[in-house]
C-alpha cells in the first residue's frame, strides 16, 4: 500500500519531472501502471483498436467489465444478490442519484446535516426531487464546525439522513458515524 502511494520508491524509479500528488480527487499512479496504459491505449491487447474506441458490447470490453466486476466483489466481499454499478461522475453525480433512487411514494423528505460545501450542494440537489430538510448547518461559522447533536432536528419520517463524512474543502470531518 505504501508503495502504491509512492512511499519507499527509490529516486531512480520516479520518472523525471513527475510530482507527488496527494490532492483530493485524482492522484498519482504508479509509473508501471501508467506505462502499461500507454502501451495498451492505441492497441488494447492486440485487438487492433483502443479500449476507448471499442463497443461496450464487444468481447474485449465485456471481458474487462467482467473482470472489474469480479475484482470489486472479491475486494469488497460483495454478495451475488447485489449489482455492481460503474457510474461516470463523482460526488456531484451522487447528489442526485441518492434522492432519485430513495425518495418516492410516501417518502418525499430527506434530512441533511449541512457541515460544508459538499453537503450544502447535496441538499440543494435533493430539492429538485423532493424535500431536502436542513437538520443542522454550520454555514454561519463558514463550515468550520459540526453542530452539536442536541441541535439537530431529525425527522422520523425522513427517508434517509445525508451527511458528508469528510468535507475536504474546509477540512471538517466526522470522527464518528452519526
- What's the rounded mean pLDDT across residues 113-134? 96
- What pLDDT digit, counting tens, does each position of 146-165 carry? 999 999 999 999 999 999 99
Q: Is the pTM of this model over 0.75?
A: no
- Closest by CA to 158, choosing from 117, 108, 122, is 108
Q: What is the mean pLDDT of the segment spanning 1-19?
A: 57
Q: Is the pLDDT of residue 3 over 90?
A: no
Query: DSSP letters along 7-62, please?
Result: TT--GGGSPTT------SSS----HHHHHHHHHHHHSGGGSSS-TTTS-TTSHHHH
The 10s digit of each residue's pLDDT in 81-91 is 999 988 877 77
CA distance 123 to 37: 38
The per-residue pLDDT for 92 is 83
**3-class secondary structure, 97:** helix
Residue 5: the pLDDT is 46
3-class SS of residue 147: coil
Would you say the C-alpha torsion 58, 60, 64, 69 has a positive or negative sign? positive
Cell match 424535500: residue? 131
Which one has a higher pLDDT value, 47 or 92?
Answer: 47
Amino acid at each position: 500500500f505504501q508503495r502504491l502511494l509512492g512511499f519507499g520508491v527509490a529516486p531512480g524509479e520516479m520518472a523525471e519531472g513527475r510530482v507527488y500528488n496527494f490532492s483530493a480527487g485524482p492522484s498519482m499512479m504508479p509509473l508501471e501502471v501508467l506505462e502499461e496504459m500507454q502501451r495498451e491505449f492505441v492497441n488494447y491487447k492486440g485487438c487492433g483498436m483502443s479500449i476507448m474506441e471499442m463497443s461496450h458490447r464487444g468481447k474485449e470490453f465485456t471481458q474487462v467489465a467482467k473482470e472489474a466486476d469480479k475484482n470489486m466483489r472479491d475486494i469488497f466481499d460483495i454478495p451475488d444478490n447485489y449489482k455492481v454499478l460503474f457510474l461516470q461522475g463523482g460526488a456531484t453525480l451522487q447528489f442526485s442519484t441518492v434522492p432519485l433512487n430513495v425518495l418516492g411514494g410516501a417518502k418525499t423528505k430527506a434530512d441533511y446535516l449541512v457541515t460544508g460545501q459538499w453537503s450544502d450542494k447535496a441538499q440543494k440537489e435533493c430539492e429538485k426531487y423532493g424535500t431536502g430538510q436542513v437538520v443542522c448547518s454550520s454555514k454561519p461559522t463558514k463550515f468550520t464546525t459540526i453542530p452539536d447533536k442536541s441541535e439537530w432536528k431529525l425527522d422520523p419520517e425522513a427517508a434517509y439522513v445525508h451527511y458528508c463524512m469528510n468535507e475536504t474543502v474546509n477540512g471538517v470531518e466526522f470522527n464518528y458515524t452519526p
